[in-house]
Chains A and B, each alone.
Chain A
Amino acid sequence: MTLLLRLPVVVLLTLVFVNSALASRIEISSPGQQAIPLALNRILPITSAHPEIAAEFDRVLEYDLEFSGLFRFIDPASFMRDAGSLGLQRSDVDFPQWRILGSELLIKGGYQLNGEQLTVDMRLYDVTSQRLLTGRRYVGQRGDVRKIAHTFADQVLEQLTGESGPFATKIAYISEQTGNKELYLMDVDGHGAVRLTDHRSIVLNPDFSPTRKELIFTSYKQENPDLFRKEVYTGQESRLSFQQGLNISGRYSPDGRQIALTLSKDGNAELYLIGTNGTLLRRLTNHYAIDVDPSWSPDGNRIAFVSDRLGNPHIFIVDIHSREVKRLTYDGRYNATPAWNPKSDRIVFSRLEDSIFNLFTINPDGSDERQITFGGGNKEHPRWSPDGRFLVYSLDDGRGKSLWMMRADGSGARRIAAAGDRASHPAWSGRW
């Protein structure tokens, strides 16, 4: 827990305000097709060398940038003399050396360690126009090296696309490491996992507050599936909704002021809205069918959910003001776990076909349905990154459940190995 309680001491200094000529130039909807040639130089020691720190920084930054799908990396073996030069100023950089390699972008940086204090100085250059796109100096502790690398990766994406990357955020998930299902929190790449609950019961289905560093989840701690709330850094925990029967699949509204969830207090699973203090605000559905798995539209006016009101489980959308319900999916006999992209009108869900759950995306009006995962193993519980460009989900390959990430179009899938073999129910935090 000490790891969590120690707030990251990362100081951001914007060195230069630059115009964003490249900003909004890149859409990441189909990342592979417009990869920008990038020369990613390793960071150089400003004073004494600490190869293990530099190597970790380089590894994390490259992993993030590669995952973004935005770049085609220039082979470092072809780098020339300027790659070994610490000159970070625009006037110090030998741009023709980088240009001849075909790179359009260049990342250079340096670091120094004074005692436990780590300083990292990073620059992103437009090679063609020889302009500084972004320059950042990060000051933190030695142990913050990964966080600094993630933060700079986010900054690179923000500079190039106008939308920050999600790499310095957190993923919450459920793991059975202890023998019981408990709530865990980790970095997006699986590093630094910590267990948050000790309920020794069954903990399920977490969701992050979009505005505060807190989570809601369902737990059987008090012998009923109740909704709990937990503040991540203070560890403070309370029971938020404990109606008789189900208090499950809680989801914060985009403004963080309401929670949609399923209650069965009246004898049947229905969607309700409650306040963040647990007070019942209103009932959203009224049908003898099962209504579960709410997911908010980015504007907070509509909620996608799962219902078997027409026989098999399908995805529906309810307008929270008029309570009008529209059917979204028609294909497949079992559709579940919808998640509405926080930045665009796209809904991801899992569908059972040929005895396997795969992930699909669809527009909220039902058009342009696409399958984005293929092959063996059940893929379920997809959740979007806060920038809407990536997905995290669970894969059950018959031996156990593991967590995976991929881009919004299904490309670049990779396992978050550090989360282990018995991990499920991921949720992606907002800005952290």
Chain B
Amino acid sequence: MKFLSVVRFLVIGFAFAVLTVGCAKQPVVEETPVPAQPTQVVVEQPVRAVQETPITDTSVAMTAEEAAAEARRAAAAGLQRIHFDFDRSDLTEEAKQILVNNAGLLRAAPQVNVLIEGHTDERGSDEYNLALGERRAISARNFLVSLGVGADRLRIISYGEEMPIALERNEEAWAKNRRAEFKISR
């Protein structure tokens, strides 16, 4: 629960930052002279007493390190793998949605670097599959970069067909194995 609120806090903070930056970029309105006006007589009024009491917050504010660690945990728990069609490295609509979510987690955790692993199913030549797995990792990386994740945070590696997650030999297992995975690195 706590990390959700943190994520929300960070997302709002991010949005606010974007807005502020946006406002600052508004063009400056040209100054026009204010016409002279007759001095108004202000009727004196009695001073109203304002009550002021200090408010003490008993909860401890989160340090920057703790927030970063939370974002890192959120990313580690939340980054999801994506899947590909046979002999393809372009992103499906489903994969894109997952990547949008992954990108959000990564933007919230700017100090986290990720290793993107490209994998294939067992069919086809091992060497061709190594190249295909790399293409899949590159597709995923390029999309994350287009969503604002720094390219320097994303390293890729292809394992081709060497590391299947499903060992059966049917369409279902092959579909599971055609994938890109996102591993948090140091």
Binding site for B on A (CB under 8 A): 181, 202, 204-205, 220, 223-225, 245-246, 248-249, 262, 264, 267, 269, 290-293, 306, 308, 312-313, 334, 336-337, 350, 352, 380-381, 398, 425
B158 at the interface (CB under 8 A from A): yes
Provide the residues of chain A in CB contact with B135, threshold 8 Å: 290
B127 touches A225 (CB 8 A): no
Bound form: Cα–Cα A264–B127 in Å: 12
Q: Are A350 and B125 in contact (CB under 8 A)?
A: yes
The verdict on B181 contacting chain A, using a C-beta distance below 8 Å, is no
Binary contact readout B45-71 vs A (1 if CB under 8 angstroms, 0 otherwise)? 000000000000000000000000000
B131/A336 in contact, CB under 8 A: no
**What separation, in Å, do the CA atoms of A205 and B87 have in the docked complex?**
21
B130 interface residue per 8 A CB criterion: yes
Interface residues on B, range: 10 to 19
Interface of A is mostly: strand
Which residues of B pack against A, CB within 8 Å?
87, 123-128, 130-132, 134-135, 138, 156-159, 162, 169
Across the interface, A290 reaches (CB within 8 A) one of B126, B128, B157, B169, namely: B128
Inter-chain pairs besides A336-B125, A352-B124, 10 sampled, C-beta below 8 Å:
A202-B159, A202-B162, A248-B130, A269-B130, A269-B134, A290-B132, A292-B125, A293-B125, A313-B124, A350-B125
Q: Which residues of B contact A246 (CB under 8 A)?
A: 130-131, 134, 158
Given A202-B162, A264-B134: A293 touches B128 (CB 8 Å cut-off) = yes
> Contacts of A313 on B, CB cut-off 8 Å?
124-125, 128
Which residue among A202, A245, A308, A380 has the maximum number of chain B CB atoms within 10 Å of its CB? Answer: A245
Of all chain A residues, which has the CB nearest B157?
A224
| Interface pair A425/B124, CB less than 8 Å apart | no
Least CB separation from B169: chain A residue: A398
Chain A residues with CB under 8 A of B128 = 290, 292-293, 306, 308, 313, 336
Given contacts A223-B157, A224-B157, contact A249 B127 (CB under 8 A): yes
Contact A262 B157 (CB under 8 A): no
> Which 10 A-B pairs have CB atoms at the shortest separation, nearest pair first?
A336-B125, A269-B131, A290-B131, A292-B127, A249-B127, A293-B127, A202-B162, A337-B125, A292-B128, A292-B131
Q: Would A225 and B130 be within 8 Å (CB), given that A181-B162, A246-B158, A267-B138 are in contact?
A: yes
- Chain B residues in 8 Å Cβ range of A249: 127
- Who on chain A is nearest to B185 by CB? A223
Residue in B closest to A307 when the chains form the complex, CB atoms = B128
